[in-house]
Amino acid sequence: MAEKKRPSWDEYFLKLAMLASERATCPRMHCGCVLVKDRFVLSTGYNGSLPGQPHCEDVGCLIVDNHCVRTNHAEINALVQAARHGVNTVGATAYITNMSCTTCAKALIAAGIKRVVVFSDFHDTLATQFYNQSGVEIVKMDMPETQIHYDLKNYSSAKKTEKSK
Ligand SMILES: [Zn+2]
Ligand SMILES: [Zn+2]
């Protein structure tokens, strides 16, 4: 078994963002976002269609100017989930799998996000400029390990059931 390394908080929340991205529905891009304050997860999001609308992976993308516009991006969906549940995002950190587009950067800034942690390369957008001008700290990390260490063998509480074997 590979040596297990306990993840730092930033690695842990980035891994949660990676997990959220598994729910994305646009084949052109899978993004995840987790909003965290005081090590408390406020909300999660991934890029996906509006509630009740068809998914890109089922009906194809909706391309305008070479971008798929069918989905809300992960950052927007995380903010929207917080809004729907009355959660205050001021002062929170946004963990995102892909550097924001300009629109999402502006939304995160306006929602009071103070720190952004990301592992992807930066794209040719105005996101970095807006973050810098608004005093949002950008932390670029290496991609966390993609493996989840869930030790079924050694912890009796996590034994597989007949059904999950
Ligand atoms: Zn799409
Ligand atoms: Zn975006």
Q: Which of 57, 75, 137, 145 is catalytic?
A: 75
Which ligand places an atom closest to the C-alpha of 55? 1
What is the rounded distance in angstroms from the CA atom of residue 36 to the CA atom of residue 65? 33
Which ligand places an atom closest to the C-alpha of 106? 2
* 75 is an active site residue: yes
Picking from 63, 125, 80, 81, the residue whose alpha carbon sits closest to that of residue 100 is: 125
Q: What are phi and psi of 123, to 5 degrees?
A: -100, 175
CA of 75 relative to ligand 2 center, distance in Å: 6
Tokens (6 digits) for 51: 């509630």
How high is the pLDDT of residue 159?
67
Whether residue 68 contacts residue 62, with contact meaning beta carbons closer than 8 Å, is answered with yes
Partnered with residue 94 across adjacent β-strands are 35, 116
What is the rounded distance in angstroms from the CA atom of residue 87 to the CA atom of residue 84? 8
14-42 average pLDDT score: 97
Give yes or no for residue 6 having a pLDDT over 70: yes
Banded model confidence at residue 75, pLDDT cuts 50, 70, 90: very high
CA of 103 relative to ligand 1 center, distance in Å: 17
The one-letter amino acid code at 96 reads: I
The residue to which tokens 């999660």 are assigned: 44
What is the rounded distance in angstroms from the CA atom of residue 95 to the CA atom of residue 10? 8
DSSP 44: E
13-41 average pLDDT score: 97
For the stretch 106-156, pLDDT in tens is 999 999 999 999 998 777 789 999 999 999 999 999 999 988 888 777 776
10-23 average pLDDT score: 97
Which ligand places an atom closest to the C-alpha of 69? 1
Alpha helices (H) along 85-138: 102-110, 127-133
How high is the pLDDT of residue 1?
47
CA of 38 relative to ligand 1 center, distance in Å: 34
Whether residue 44 contacts residue 81, with contact meaning beta carbons closer than 8 Å, is answered with yes
Which ligand places an atom closest to the C-alpha of 45? 2
Q: Which of 40-44, 120-124, 158-162 has the lowest mean pLDDT?
A: 158-162
CA of 104 relative to ligand 2 center, distance in Å: 4
CA of 70 relative to ligand 1 center, distance in Å: 6
52 SS3 class: coil
CA of 21 relative to ligand 1 center, distance in Å: 14
